Amino acid sequence: LKSMDEETATSAGIKLEIPTELQTEIDEIALKRPRKAVISLDLEDDQKRWLIVGICLHSVLSPALRKYVDSILSVFHNDLVLYHKIDMQIYPTHLKRDPHTGIFLNYKAVNNNKVNYGKNIAKYDYTIKGAVDLSKLFLQSHNALYTGFDETCDSSALLGLILNIAKFGPVIKADVDNNIRN
């Protein structure tokens, strides 16, 4: 039997009996909490346009870029295997710079080198086994966390690869730099 001091509450369809003194204490605690204003979910027209651009970039452009980047980097990897033995390299004779641009290659980003060895570069695994590993050499470590040219490789990484690797033509690089990236 329910006494007059209790209120009935429901939670997920289960009736709960809450004593009045407990309900009063709950109400007092709730009143002490600051109330936050509700933020409007209405978006301005400009915000809606940017949202559409982001969705298109993610669902239309990125899948196409992944295929394109994969094809270019697969050929590039094969060239580097043939001419520089990048798939069998060891410290200290590893390829340190991109042969086309001269930029330093980031071996921290591949083979879990940063996690496993930190700054002890002599212990790094310098073998580059495929196009994905090769691509990570051209990005900052925090942008190279993907596992393949799939959904884990976001548009920022893809655009960074196009800008940083000489195998992508100057017209494409200029378009990415002028029209998409900025």
d(CA 54, CA 160): 17
**Residue 143: inside a domain, yes or no?**
yes
At residue 7, what are phi and psi to the nearest 5 degrees?
A: -110, 150
Residue 165: what pLDDT? 96
**Residue 164: inside a domain, yes or no?**
yes
Say yes or no: 21 and 98 in one domain: no
Say yes or no: 27 and 105 in one domain: no
The parent domain of residue 165 ranges over 62-181
Residue 141: what pLDDT? 95
**Residue 47: inside a domain, yes or no?**
no
Say yes or no: 84 and 166 in one domain: yes
Say yes or no: 23 and 94 in one domain: no
**Residue 100: inside a domain, yes or no?**
yes
Say yes or no: 149 and 75 in one domain: yes
Please answer whether residues 125 and 114 qualify as being in contact, where contact means their C-beta atoms are separated by less than 8 angstroms.
Answer: no
What residues contact 109, with CB distance under 8 A and at least 6 apart? Answer: 136, 137, 139, 140, 141, 144
pLDDT tens-digit profile, the chain (182 residues): 444 444 555 555 566 677 888 888 888 887 887 777 666 678 888 988 989 988 988 899 999 999 999 999 999 999 999 999 999 999 999 999 999 999 999 999 999 999 999 999 999 999 999 999 999 999 999 999 999 999 999 999 999 999 999 999 999 888 888 887 65
**Residue 52: inside a domain, yes or no?**
no
**Residue 48: inside a domain, yes or no?**
no
Say yes or no: 8 and 96 in one domain: no
d(CA 164, CA 69): 12
Per the structure, how many domains does the chain have?
Answer: 2
